[in-house]
Structure 1
Amino acid sequence: MAERLQVHGYVREIDPETRRVTAVVTTGRLARDGAIIEPDGWRLDNYARNPVVLWAHDTSSLPIARTVETRQTPDGLIQVHEFADTEFASRVFSLVERGFVNATSARWIPGRTEWREMADEEGRRRKVLVFTEGHELLEVSYVPIPADPGAVVVRADGSPADLAAMFPGEPCAPEPAAEYSVERLRSIADAIRKLSGRGAHV
């Protein structure tokens, strides 16, 4: 079975009257770790059967909310969470409403992946790991950590994920530019001249 992963999202809109919060669970943008999760590749059928929302991935406690709407958009996976009226859920909602909690965290199982060459925000070409389809959403939580719109992929326990090792194929980081000394450039030029029949040195 594939290893469970975790990705961070952020709160986008709050409706105090209905106790509903709209959250961007994941984005479709290139993350700092060189990964992209295709928004239309999510498998949501199993999650839809029991769309609970937890606090800090605590599966031993009652849920604090339920997902009443899920949208797969080009910008990412968007959900609307309706908070329960229990004491603890109300406390969490109050923290979300007042801006003390503004991050979500989703746990999921990766499906199909592929490596693509793409340009990052600085225009550099790099190898990027793309989660293309079949990523199964397991659970969504609100978490007491800073929101990360970059949606960095980590292991389910929160530790860093070595994507290149977990999904072999291509390096995740951009390849460094080649560095040549003056002597190396002279030897290359000398070889070219010899091949052209001139035989001269630079």
Structure 2
Amino acid sequence: MKTVHVRGYAELERGAAGDGPVPFVAATAGAKKDGLDLQMSGVDLERYLANPVIMYDHEYWGRNALPIGRAENVRVDGDALRMDIVFDVDDEFARTVDRKVRGRFLNAVSIGFGAYNIDDAGVPERWELYETSVVPLPLDPNAIADPDRAAAARQLTLARALGLAGGRIPALADLDPDTVRQAIASLEALLPTTPPTPAPAAADRARRLRLLEASL
């Protein structure tokens, strides 16, 4: 067994501390500087899902090395491992990390894992996720924040309102009208003083979803 660390990056919209979960890419497939290629087909999440801790800089030994948050919606999305991080804003240090992440002073996460039966190409037959940490300096110098992370955060919000997995939104023309109406109602509930309206036409649905997305 070999334990190593790789990187991820934030996909978020600038906002105040405690303003909802922060979407992160925790790891990606492909050979990295540690020589390993973590294919998502080999990931084992069972252990992590039972204890989805978010740490800081891989400090998890001793009485003061407490989690600063938890991971939610942990999932494989193509060649990436994604998760949404909920920071413990009742903890002073975690609140500081949350603020720095949302202010884009901290942009990266790193994972600790075990890799098993590694072949000559550096691909483990199985790798097990142990923990995820917010870090100032990730292993991979290219693991920087997605420049379109604001759009990614809005897309995730819309996808959740539509009840879609993986944070991906199809074209409005491909959606059932009742699904769109329910999504509009869910999103309008997030906005103050937005009056309910009857079922809109297709063009108006598209316009309203764009307006709601821009307002979030």
Q: Same fold (TM over 0.5)?
A: yes
Matched residue, 2:118: 113
**Cα distance, 1:31 vs. partner?**
2.7
CA change 1:14–1:70 in 2 (3 A) is farther
State, as a whole percentage, how many aligned pairs show the same letter.
32
Calculate the TM-score normalised by the size of structure 1.
0.61
Name whichever structure is richer in helix by fraction. 2
**Cα distance, 1:147 vs. partner?**
7.3
**Cα distance, 1:30 vs. partner?**
3.4
Q: Distance in 2 between matches of 1:111 and 1:12?
A: 30
On the 8 A contact 1:103/1:148 being kept in 2, the answer is no
The one-letter code sitting in structure 2 at the alignment partner of 1:49 is A
On the 8 A contact 2:5/2:139 being kept in 1, the answer is no
Structure 2: stretches of 5+ with no match in the other structure: 144-216
On the 8 A contact 1:9/1:23 being kept in 2, the answer is yes
Matched residue, 2:66: 62
What's the C-alpha RMSD, in Å, of the aligned pairs? Answer: 2.2
**Cα distance, 1:3 vs. partner?**
2.7
**Cα distance, 1:98 vs. partner?**
1.1
Name whichever structure is richer in strand by fraction. 1
Structure 1: stretches of 5+ with no match in the other structure: 116-127, 152-202
**Cα distance, 1:65 vs. partner?**
0.8
Larger Rg: 1
**Cα distance, 1:36 vs. partner?**
1.6
On the 8 A contact 2:31/2:122 being kept in 1, the answer is no
Aligned residues: 137
Matched residue, 2:128: 136
- Residues 91-170 of structure 1: matches in 2 within 5 Å? 91-115=96-120, 128-131=121-124, 133-145=125-137, 148=140
1:84 corresponds, among 88, 109, 121, to 88
Calculate the TM-score normalised by the size of structure 2.
0.57
The one-letter code sitting in structure 2 at the alignment partner of 1:114 is D
The one-letter code sitting in structure 2 at the alignment partner of 1:78 is R
**Cα distance, 1:95 vs. partner?**
0.7
